[in-house]
Amino acid sequence: MLGHGILIDTTLCVGCYSCEEADAARWGRTPTDTHKLSSSLNTAVLQVDDTYVPRMCMHCAEPTCASVCPVGAFTKTPEGPVVYDPDKCMGCRYCMQACPFDVPKYEWNSAAPKITKCDMCHERTSKGQLPACVEACPTGARTYGKVSDLLQEAQKRMQDNPGKYHASVYGVREAGGTSILYISDRPFEKLGLKTNLPDHPMPSLTWAILSKIPNYVFWGGTLMAGIWWITNRRKEVQAFELKLKEMDKRGNGTSNHE
């Protein structure tokens, strides 16, 4: 299930960082000069030698982040984006460990930390608008549309410009396919993109491993659910503990009196 996505042509990216500024504005954050994915920057432009490489969530066809999340905070929408619900998140950070592209980031410095990642501007695209980063790009380095159409466009550019592009499209097979595609004038490993990923969806590996250790799945899920309950109902727990102490004191007092 790929739906819509974004085609990134690194030969057109000039490193103006307009996409980073648009991303910061979309999330109500302040732009930074770090130019890498972080809890405050969900799309970034990395400079690798003389090439600028836009990075963002890859929006996998079968996202591993969704498969490992015990509370269903991640969802792959039919439209294409993998969206995150902070109200469901309990901060276990399994998604960070599982993501094959190292995308989700954690708000370590926040008093109420959550996971942050690109959602392909799902709210904007559901209204017929372009993702903020695509709209802001002055050179057309990012193209938004149906993934099937984007793949045709990528292949057309490669055919119309023989010798200009590396002879493959990144994202077609990696981790079972993604909604973000790349074309470039050099091998993708030279751009810092992972090229050692399997061609099949990563969740199949996740469940293959977890199925061998059912006790871990059960007790791990139980433990994390307990942590979530305690975190979100701390006042009730404290009140209950106080009530137990009062009852204990009364019981001791009765015994002493007798």
Give the tens place of pLDDT for each residue, 215-256.
444 445 545 555 554 455 455 555 656 666 676 666 666 444
pTM of the model: 0.80
CATH number listed for the domain at residues 4-207? 3.30.70.20
Nearest CA among 44, 43, 51 for reference residue 13 = 51
Containing 22, the helix (H) or strand (E) segment is: helix 18-27
Quote the DSSP letter at residue 178: B
* Sign of the dihedral through C-alpha 44, 47, 48, 54: positive
d(CA 182, CA 132): 18
- In order along its 258 residues, the chain shows pLDDT tens digits of 679 999 999 999 999 999 999 999 999 998 888 999 999 999 999 999 999 999 999 999 999 999 999 999 999 999 999 999 999 999 999 999 899 999 999 999 888 999 999 999 999 999 999 999 999 999 999 999 999 999 999 999 999 999 999 999 999 999 999 999 999 999 999 999 999 999 988 776 665 554 554 444 444 554 555 555 445 545 555 565 666 667 666 666 644 444
Neighbouring CB atoms inside 10 A of 69's CB total: 23
d(CA 205, CA 5): 25
What three-state secondary structure class fits 2?
coil
Q: Are 31 and 22 in contact (CB under 8 A)?
A: no
What three-state secondary structure class fits 247?
helix
d(CA 7, CA 21): 19
Neighbouring CB atoms inside 10 A of 150's CB total: 24
Q: Are 43 and 133 in contact (CB under 8 A)?
A: yes
Reading the block at residue 19, the tokens are 């996409």
Domain ranges of the chain: 4-207, 216-257
